[in-house]
Amino acid sequence: MASAESSERRNQMRAVGQELPRIAGRALGKRGLGEAHLLSEWASVVGAELAAETLPTKLAFPPGERRNGTLRLRVTSSAALAVQHREPQIVERINGFLGYPAVRRLALVQGPLPGETRPRPPSPRPLTPEEAGLLDRSLVQVPDSGLKSALRRLGEAISRGRRR
């Protein structure tokens, strides 16, 4: 005979975030994030804007304690200064959410967040035959091959930057 809880689960869907502590609590606890619901509710704790730029990766406590820990945050480089300045408010929000003084300070680790991809710069357009010819003619009198090569690269970059 099935228990009331298991039959209730079969008859209704549950949000993944609601089940995260039960499913991943042990694995996250090994990484220092025993407070799995902090991860699942991160956007509601710090706000959508900061959540898009940060991700908690590890919560480390002093030996033998479960309070006044250091929360390691992965932060995009563009948001690091803002997060650093807002550290007291962020720590206060986290501790308010958890209901006890779990975090004392933040340790920021700058870099891209997992899954974040940077757009590739567009490849430079090729020079038109007229642009290449004009550039070649203007460099004919330069005797030094190293200087000529550098001037050619500069000329190509300038020509590509101009609108057709």
Instruction: Say which residue, 100 or 119, is predicted with more confidence.
Output: 100
Mean pLDDT of 21-36: 52
Closest CA to 105 of 65, 73, 78: 73
Report the C-alpha gap between 112 and 102 in whole angstroms: 26
SS3 73: strand
Per residue in 35-47, pLDDT tens? Answer: 667 787 888 889 9
Question: In this model, does residue 99 exceed pLDDT 80?
Answer: yes
Give residue 106's pLDDT.
95
Q: What is the pTM (predicted TM-score) of this model?
A: 0.53
Report the C-alpha gap between 110 and 104 in whole angstroms: 20
Give residue 70's pLDDT.
93
Give residue 163's pLDDT.
55
Tokens 């809880």 identify what position? 5
Question: In this model, does residue 87 exceed pLDDT 90?
Answer: yes
Question: In this model, does residue 144 exceed pLDDT 60?
Answer: yes
Mean pLDDT of 21-39: 56
Give residue 7's pLDDT.
45
Give residue 150's pLDDT.
92
The upper half-sphere exposure of residue 86, i.e. CA atoms within 13 Å in the direction of its Cβ, equals: 14
Closest CA to 61 of 50, 53, 69, 52: 69
Mean pLDDT of 58-75: 90
**DSSP structure class, residue 63:** T
Mean pLDDT of 49-64: 90
Distances (CA, A) of 1 to 4, 11, 61, 73, 74: 9, 16, 43, 46, 47
Mean pLDDT of 93-106: 89
Give residue 133's pLDDT.
92
Instruction: Say which residue, 163 or 65, is predicted with more confidence.
Output: 65
**DSSP structure class, residue 111:** S
